[in-house]
Structure 1
Amino acid sequence: LLETIQKLHSSLVGSFAVACIHKDHPNTLIATKRDKPLILAVDQKQGQILVTSDRNALYEGDFLTIDLEDDQIALINENALEIFGKDGEIIPLKFAPLTIKNTPHEKGEFSHYMLKEIHEQPSAIRRTLEGRYDLEQDRVLVNLPKSFYQFFPTVTKIALVGCGTSYHAACICAHFIEELTRIPANAHIASEYRYKETLTDETTLVIGISQSGETADTIGALREAKRRKAKILSITNVQHSSIIRESDYHLMTQAGLEISVCSTKAFTSQLLLLYLLTLEFTQIKYGALPQGNTWIQNLRTLPSLVEAILEKKREIQEIARKASQIDRILFVGRQYMFYTALESSLKLKEISYIYSLCYPAGELKHGPLALVDENTLTIALLGHGPTFQKTCSNVQEIQARKGKIFALHQKQHPLEEISPDFSFSIDATIEPALLPILFSVALQLFAFYVALEKGHDIDHPKNLAKSVTVE
C-alpha cells in the first residue's frame, strides 16, 4: 500500500491536503499534503485519530496532535499510526498536546452566530488587553521574546500583509505606526506582495495578519519575505497554525472561536493587538508612551464604549430596514475612516450581496461622483479634526446630486452643516486612531440587519469560506 501511495504522490502537481481510503484496504486511512495544512489529532479519551485541515473542527477534549509536513504520508488504522517521509523512511512521532476547552458553539439567545460574535466583542477586547499593559508604569507589555527587542532598533521599515479583513486591519495600523513611530510602514494585500519586487531586506519587519493562521496567500507572502531575510511577526487567532511555523515571533489575539464566515470580533481583536504593538514600538524607540497613560486609559474604555453602541442596535436596525431597499451603496471616509469604510463595505458585500463601493471622500470629484443619484445611498464616516469638515463638504456635494446620506459621527461633533437622511452618533471622547473599532462595530450591525431584511444565510454567505487555504 505504501509503495502504491508513494508512486501516486510523486505524480501529483501543485498544493493539496488529502485523506483517502484504498478500496482494497478499507481499514486504513491515508493522509498526505503539500503546501496545505493537515493535522493528525489523537483523542486521548476516545482513542480515536482524527484528520483535519482546521483545528477549529476539533470538539472539546484533550488531544495529542501532529502537523503533517509536506510530502509526508500517514497510514492510520485501528492499531497504529505511522508516518513516512518522501523516500519511505519512518518519521518519529512527535506529539504536541492540545486542549479544547469549553468553547460555546451554540448561538444561545442569538438568532445567528454573527450577531452573537458582534455582541462578544467587549469581552474579546478585554481578553486581548489583559496582561498587556502596566498602568502604574504607563507602559504597554506585549511580551515578545528578548530577541525581538534587540532586533527592533535595527528596523528601517515595516510591511504589514494580510487578505480581506486582515488587510484592512493592516491599513489602519500602518497609518498608526507611521504617525507614532515615524518608521515607514506600508500595508500590502498578501497575494500582491508575494509577487512584488518590494524593498524587503534584513532591516525589514514584516507583520503577517491572519485570523485562521492558514491563509494561503499570507503564508506565501511570509515565505517570500523570509527569502529576502526579513524578520516575521505573525498575529493569528488560532494556536499551532501554519503561519506560526513560518514566523520568528508570534502574538495571539484572544477573540475566541469565531464561527460566522463574516469576521467581526476577530477583526476588532486584531486591530486592538496591532494598536498595542504600535505603542510598544513607540516605547522601544522613544523610551516612553506619548501623552503618558492617555493611550492606555483610552484602550481600557473601549469595551464599555462598544457596549454602548450595542445598546443602540435597534436604532441601527431601523436605518438598515430602510436602506435594504437600495441597490447601490457608496462608502466614503478620510484617513482612518477611509480604511474603516473599506472594511465596512466588505462586510455589507459579503452578507447582503449589495453592490457596494468605497472611496476616500476626497476622490469623489475624480470619478465616483458620476455614479451618484437619487437611487444611491452614501455612508459617510465622519472622523475627527480637519477631516470632519472636509468630509461634510463632500457630503454636501452628494446631496446636491440628490444622493441619500447615512452619516456616522461622534456625538461631540454635531451635524450642523449637513442634514443627512439617516445618522448615528457615537458618544466617545477618544483618540482618533481608536475610532475605527467603534465605527466598525456600528457598521457590522448595519450589515447584519440589511442582510436579515433580505433573508440571506448570514453565517454562510454564498461562494465564501471561513478559512481560505487555497490561492
Structure 2
Amino acid sequence: MRSGSNVCGIVAYVGPQDATPILFEGLQRLEYRGYDSAGVAVVGKSGQLRVRKAKGRVRDAAEGLPARFKGAPGIGHTRWATHGEPSDANAHPHVSGTVAIVHNGVIENADELRAKLTADGVEFASETDSEVLAHLIAAAAADPDVDLAEAVRLALTRIVGTYGIAVVDASRPGVCVVARNGSPVVLGLGDKEMYAASDVSALAGHTRQVVHLDDGEIAALTAGGYRTFTLEARATTKEPSELDADAASYDTGGHATFMAKEIHEQPEVVERALRGRLDPRFHTAHLGGLNLDPRDARAIRRVKIIGCGTAYYSGQLGAQLIEELARIPADAEPASEFRYRNPVVDPDTLYVAVSQSGETYDTLAAVQELRRKGGRVLGLVNVVGSAIARECDGGIYLHAGPEISVASTKTFTATGVAFALLALYLGRIRDLSPADGARIAAGLRALPGQIQEILDREAEIATLAAELAAHRAAFFIGRVRGFPVAREGAQKLKEISYLHAEAYPASELKHGPLALISPDLPTVAVVPDDELRDKNLTTLGEIRARKGRVIAVGHSAVADDTIVVPKNEPELDPILLTVPLQILAYHAALSLGHDIDRPRNLAKSVTVE
C-alpha cells in the first residue's frame, strides 16, 4: 500500500552553525504534529549527505547519534502516517542520489509517476508517495546547468496534490529549497542564517522575523537571505512579520503536560481575548479586523459557521450566541461536509470559518470554495498569518497563544469568547438593547475570575474522573445551550482517555439511547440553572429510574455528584460549563496512564484530507 507523509512537522536550516542540534530541537517542538517516525539529513563539510531516521519518537532518531554527524544545510521531519504502517523505510527524509527531501501532504498522481520512474529503472526504497518527489527532483538536478531551486520547480510542475517540502542537495551545498501548496511553510530570518518550518513553534528562540509562503510558492534559502517565486518562475515579494511568541511559550511551564498548562492558562487567555475589544460607551464590541461596517452587518440575513472537530462544536456554541443576541438565523456545519455538498452560497449570508491553526485543510478548502462563489467569509483563527486568516475577508484573532496539546482546550474557550464578541457586535447593530449589551459585557469581564474558581476545584473533579475512568463508555447530554458543551465534553474524553463517549441532546435520550442506560454506563449531564432546568431534571429522573449513574455539571447540586460552576449570564454559561469537562477528561486519561499530549492516531493540525 502506498504510504502518504500527510500530517507532520518540517524544519530546515541553512547557515554557519551545525544544523543537527537545531533540527532536533525544532522537531521536538513539532512532535505534537506527528510522532510515528522522525529523521534528519545534513550536508557534511566534505560534501557528503548524512541521513538519520527511525520509526518512533524524535528521541529515537536522535539516540546514539555519532559525533561526526554534523553539517549544514539540513532538513528534518517528524511524521504522523495516515496510510500504511510507520517504519524506518517510510520515515523521512527520502533520498535520491545526492538529493534529500522531507514532505508533508499527499501526491495524488504518485502511482502514475511511480510507474513511469520504475520503467526508467528507478528503484524505490519505501512505500511512500513522497519518495516519488525525491526522484523527480534528482532527475531534474542531474542537469549541471539547473540549480536546485529550478530542479524543485520543474519537479513540482509534474505533481498533483498537496505539499510542504524542504530539499537539500549535497552536490549543491549552501542552499535549501522549500515550497508550499496546501500545507504550511514558514521562513525564519536570522543573522546570516535562514530557517524554515511547518510551524512557527520550531522557529521561536531563533528568530523574531518570519515570512509565510503562499500556496504555489517556492523559496530558495541561503545564509545570506532568500528569494521567492511561483511555479511559473515569476518572482514574488514577501514582507517579514513579527513572531508573536517566544521559546518559553513552547514549554510546559512547570506543568506535567501541555494540556494541563493550557487548561490553567484559560483565565489569562480570556483576558487577552477581551483586551481592547469591549466598548463601554455603547455597550458593544470593538472588532476592527472584521472589515464589516454597520450597514453591511445589518444586511446579513443568515450566519453559517464551518469548522472541524472542536472548532465545529465551538461553532455550534457560536451559532446559539448569534441567534440569541443578534436574532439572526445561524447554524454550524462540519467544513469537511460543507465543501463536498455543493452548497448554495447566498450573498446575504455571513460565513465564519473556525480553525485553531488556520491551516486545517478541509476548512481552508471550504473557505476557498466560498470565496470562489462570492461568499463573504470571516475567520476565527489563533495563528497570525495562517492560510485561512489570509484567505478570509476579515476576522477575529483568538490571541490564545501557542496550543501544543493535541486536545484543544484554551482555544475552544477563546473561540467561545470571540463568538460572544461577534454576537454582541451584531446584536447591538440590530435590536439588542444597551442594557442587554452592558449585561453581556459585564458577563464577559467576569469570565476569567470564574474560570479560576473552577480550576481551584480540580482535585474534586479529579476524584470523579477516576471513577468515570473505571467504565468503558459514557453518555454526555445537554439541552439547547448545553448540547455543544456535551459534544465537546464527549470529544475530549474519547480523544485522550480512549473511552467511548457519545453526546446527545437531553431531549433525545428517550428516543432510543435510553435503552443503553444501566449502572455500567454513566451519564455526564450539563444542567445549568436556566429556563430548561426542570426539563433537564426530568431527564435525570429517567436515568436514575434505570439505575444509571449521573455526574452533573451545573450551578447547583442536582445529582449525587455535581460539579458546581459559577453562574454567569445564561448566554455565556456554556463557556464556563465546558471547563470542568476538560478537567474531567484530563484526569480520566491521567488515571489510565495515557500520553495525554500525544493521543494515539491523532495529530494537532490536520493539513490533508
| Alignment TM-score > 0.5, same fold | yes
Residues 202 and 228 in structure 1, CA contact (< 8 A), matched pair in contact too: no
Q: Any stretches of 5+ residues in structure 1 without a counterpart?
A: none
Which stretch shifts more, 142-151 or 112-121? Answer: 142-151
Go from structure 1 to structure 2 and tell me whether the alpha carbon gap of 1:384 and 1:94 turns closer, same or farther (over 3 Å shift).
same
Matching residue within 564, 569, 579 for 1:425: 564
Please report how far the alpha carbon of residue 179 of structure 1 lies from its aligned counterpart in structure 2 after TM superposition.
Answer: 1.8
Please report how far the alpha carbon of residue 73 of structure 1 lies from its aligned counterpart in structure 2 after TM superposition.
Answer: 2.8
Name the counterpart of 1:256.
401
Q: Deviations over 1:317-363 (max 9, x none)?
A: 11111111111111011011111000011011111010111101111
Go from structure 1 to structure 2 and tell me whether the alpha carbon gap of 1:392 and 1:11 turns closer, same or farther (over 3 Å shift).
same
Supply the AA of the counterpart residue of 1:460.
R
> Are 1:245 and 2:390 counterparts?
yes
Name the counterpart of 1:117.
262
> Are 1:37 and 2:184 counterparts?
yes
Residues 179 and 219 in structure 2, CA contact (< 8 A), matched pair in contact too: yes
Supply the AA of the counterpart residue of 1:445.
I
> Are 1:202 and 2:347 counterparts?
yes
Name the counterpart of 1:305.
450
Name the counterpart of 1:296.
441
Name the counterpart of 1:20.
167
Please report how far the alpha carbon of residue 61 of structure 1 lies from its aligned counterpart in structure 2 after TM superposition.
Answer: 5.4
Which stretch shifts more, 187-196 or 144-153? Answer: 144-153
Query: What SS is found at the alignment partner of 1:443?
Result: helix
Name the counterpart of 1:6.
153
Supply the AA of the counterpart residue of 2:188.
A
> Are 1:158 and 2:303 counterparts?
yes
Go from structure 1 to structure 2 and tell me whether the alpha carbon gap of 1:69 and 1:297 turns closer, same or farther (over 3 Å shift).
closer
Query: What SS is found at the alignment partner of 2:553?
Result: strand
User: For residues 69 and 116 of structure 1, what CA distance do their matches in structure 2 show?
Assistant: 32
Name the counterpart of 1:141.
286
Residues 188 and 211 in structure 2, CA contact (< 8 A), matched pair in contact too: yes
Query: What SS is found at the alignment partner of 2:288?
Result: coil
Q: Give the TM-score, by structure 2 length.
A: 0.72
Name the counterpart of 2:122.
none
Larger radius of gyration: 2
Q: Deviations over 1:278-309 (max 9, x none)?
A: 00001112374452511111111111111111
Residues 322 and 419 in structure 2, CA contact (< 8 A), matched pair in contact too: no
User: For residues 460 and 54 of structure 1, what CA distance do their matches in structure 2 show?
Assistant: 17
Name the counterpart of 1:456.
594
Please show how residues 91-106 of structure 1 align to structure 2 within 5 Å: 91-102=235-246, 103-106=248-251
Query: Alignment length, in residue pairs?
Result: 461
Supply the AA of the counterpart residue of 1:437.
I
User: For residues 113 and 327 of structure 1, what CA distance do their matches in structure 2 show?
Assistant: 25
> Are 1:394 and 2:394 counterparts?
no
User: For residues 287 and 392 of structure 1, what CA distance do their matches in structure 2 show?
Assistant: 31
Which stretch shifts more, 439-448 or 386-395? Answer: 386-395
Residues 41 and 65 in structure 1, CA contact (< 8 A), matched pair in contact too: yes
Name the counterpart of 1:285.
430
Name the counterpart of 2:499.
354
Matching residue within 496, 514, 525 for 1:380: 525
Query: What SS is found at the alignment partner of 1:171?
Result: helix
Please report how far the alpha carbon of residue 58 of structure 1 lies from its aligned counterpart in structure 2 after TM superposition.
Answer: 1.7
> Are 1:268 and 2:407 counterparts?
no
Which stretch shifts more, 371-380 or 394-403? Answer: 394-403
% identity of equivalent residues: 35
Please report how far the alpha carbon of residue 146 of structure 1 lies from its aligned counterpart in structure 2 after TM superposition.
Answer: 5.8
Residues 201 and 250 in structure 2, CA contact (< 8 A), matched pair in contact too: no
Q: Deviations over 1:80-128 (max 9, x none)?
A: 5233332334x14422232344443332332111111111111111111
Name the counterpart of 2:29.
none
User: For residues 268 and 370 of structure 1, what CA distance do their matches in structure 2 show?
Assistant: 33
Name the counterpart of 2:475.
330
User: For residues 62 and 371 of structure 1, what CA distance do their matches in structure 2 show?
Assistant: 55
Name the counterpart of 1:211.
356
Residues 61 and 100 in structure 1, CA contact (< 8 A), matched pair in contact too: no
Please report how far the alpha carbon of residue 251 of structure 1 lies from its aligned counterpart in structure 2 after TM superposition.
Answer: 1.3
Matching residue within 455, 460, 467 for 2:605: 467
Query: What SS is found at the alignment partner of 2:293?
Result: helix
Task: Provide the aligned C-alpha RMSD in A.
Answer: 1.9
Go from structure 1 to structure 2 and tell me whether the alpha carbon gap of 1:252 and 1:70 turns closer, same or farther (over 3 Å shift).
closer
Q: Any stretches of 5+ residues in structure 2 without a counterpart?
A: 1-146
User: For residues 252 and 395 of structure 1, what CA distance do their matches in structure 2 show?
Assistant: 39
Q: Give the TM-score, by structure 1 length.
A: 0.93
Residues 282 and 289 in structure 1, CA contact (< 8 A), matched pair in contact too: no
Go from structure 1 to structure 2 and tell me whether the alpha carbon gap of 1:264 and 1:133 turns closer, same or farther (over 3 Å shift).
same
Residues 60 and 100 in structure 1, CA contact (< 8 A), matched pair in contact too: no
User: For residues 155 and 588 of structure 2, what CA distance do their matches in structure 1 show?
Assistant: 49
Supply the AA of the counterpart residue of 1:218.
T
Residues 153 and 284 in structure 1, CA contact (< 8 A), matched pair in contact too: yes
Query: What SS is found at the alignment partner of 1:11?
Result: coil
Name the counterpart of 1:343.
488
**Bigger relative CO (Cα 8 Å, ≥ 6 apart):** 1
Please report how far the alpha carbon of residue 431 of structure 1 lies from its aligned counterpart in structure 2 after TM superposition.
Answer: 1.6
Please report how far the alpha carbon of residue 24 of structure 1 lies from its aligned counterpart in structure 2 after TM superposition.
Answer: 3.0
Go from structure 1 to structure 2 and tell me whether the alpha carbon gap of 1:287 and 1:262 turns closer, same or farther (over 3 Å shift).
closer
Which stretch shifts more, 192-201 or 208-217? Answer: 192-201
Supply the AA of the counterpart residue of 2:573.
L
User: For residues 438 and 295 of structure 2, what CA distance do their matches in structure 1 show?
Assistant: 25
User: For residues 439 and 287 of structure 1, what CA distance do their matches in structure 2 show?
Assistant: 24
Please report how far the alpha carbon of residue 4 of structure 1 lies from its aligned counterpart in structure 2 after TM superposition.
Answer: 3.2
Residues 156 and 231 in structure 2, CA contact (< 8 A), matched pair in contact too: no
Please report how far the alpha carbon of residue 168 of structure 1 lies from its aligned counterpart in structure 2 after TM superposition.
Answer: 0.8
